[in-house]
Structure 1
Amino acid sequence: MDLPAQDEGLEAAIVRPLAVSAAFEGSEEIAQARDLARVFLTSVQAEHGLPVSKRAMGMTQLAVSELVTNARKHAPGLCVLSLQVAEGAVEVSVWDSSTTLPVVLPADPSRVGQHGLEIVMAICRRFTVQREPVGKRITASIVLADDPGGNAAGRQAM
């Protein structure tokens, strides 16, 4: 696409959106998924000048780890991790082939494990589960900059 010189910023935005995706098949690749999130957010901050707090960096890596782990544990085949910056947040989206929707268990301090979705829901601004033509997609939105009001998830007061 050839655009006039005054539209070079538009061309760059079309060619290089603030998004990245990767497919993962083995549980050993969960660390690679976390690394992808770290490298992506570092690039968002360094190359695009968007603020990414230490909290956002850590929480994004945690959400990636939990969501990719669940996909690898409960669905056969590949899972696809997508990261995209939109509206001051990073959207962490994981697609897997299972049609079974996740269930968040009631709080139980004596239960060992199975707290991944509880953790992700606690650290994100928005959490959605969508059925896809094949499988499902789980998306968590994590605010990039710390909330001056102190709300770690960046949720608006109701």
Structure 2
Amino acid sequence: MVHSPEEDEDYASLAGVSPHLAKGARDVTRGFLLALAPDGDGAEAESVLLVVSELVTNAVRHAGGITGFGLRAGQGTVTVSVEDASRVPPQQAPADPTRPGGFGWPLVQSLALDVQVSGRRGGKTVSAMLPFSR
């Protein structure tokens, strides 16, 4: 579930940033993580950034584009939520050495403590909770 800034202080969104680019989402995320933990664990931050890149890229490539993006800090965690315009859940692509890709969804699942996919009117929300020490 994506929370609005009014509901949660530990929240960031892509307001004012082009949500069509993974780079914009990573930039927002980098700032969010830096504000949470200026001296945070670099490996944990890189994992969060990698999941942001994969979820945003997958929404743009396979799900009609991004309709919402949010970050929420919890007790020792950060949750990344990406809303898109498709109700079709993410699927692992069959391995095909002749075609690039197919590694993003399994990577998200391996890095996250929990992954949720919930349908909503006009699309779905994919949320991944990752460890992040403050």
Q: Do they fold alike, i.e. is TM over 0.5?
A: yes
Residue 80 (structure 1) aligned with residue 72 (structure 2)? no
1:41 matched to which residue of 2?
33
Tell me which amino acid in the other structure corresponds to 1:36. V
Give the helix-richer structure, 1 or 2.
Answer: 1
Percent identical residues: 30
Q: Greater Rg, structure 1 or structure 2?
A: 1
For the structure 1 residues 115 and 141, does the alpha-carbon distance in structure 2 shift closer, same or farther, using more than 3 Å as the test?
same
Counterparts of 1:1-158 in structure 2, within 5 Å, are: 17-22=9-14, 24-26=18-20, 29-46=21-38, 52-105=40-93, 108=95, 110=97, 112-145=100-133
Q: SS of the residue aligned with 1:101?
A: coil
Structure 1 residues 120 and 16: CA distance shift in structure 2, 3 A: closer
Deviations 1:107-145 (A, max 9, x none): x37363111111111111111111112200001111013
Inter-partner Cα distance in structure 2 for 1:54 and 1:25:
24
Instruction: Name which structure has the greater RCO, CA cutoff 8 Å, separation 6+.
Output: 2
Structure 2 Cα separation of the partners of residues 92 and 83 of structure 1: 5
Q: Give the aligned partner of residue 3 of structure 2.
A: none
Q: Deviations over 1:78-132 (max 9, x none)?
A: 43210000121000010011111111235x3736311111111111111111111
Q: Is contact 1:71–1:79 with CA below 8 Å preserved after alignment?
A: no
Amino acid in the other structure paired with 1:53 = D
The 8 Å contact of residues 19 and 83 in structure 1, kept in 2 or not, is answered as: yes
Q: State the alpha-carbon separation in 2 of the partners of residues 73 and 105 from structure 1.
A: 13
Aligned mates of 2:43, 2:119 — CA distance in 1: 30
Unaligned residue ranges in structure 2 (runs of 5+): 1-5
Instruction: Please state whether the residue corresponding to 1:103 is helix, strand or coil.
Output: coil
CA contact (8 A) 1:68 1:79 kept: no
Distance 1:136 1:15, change over 3 A: closer
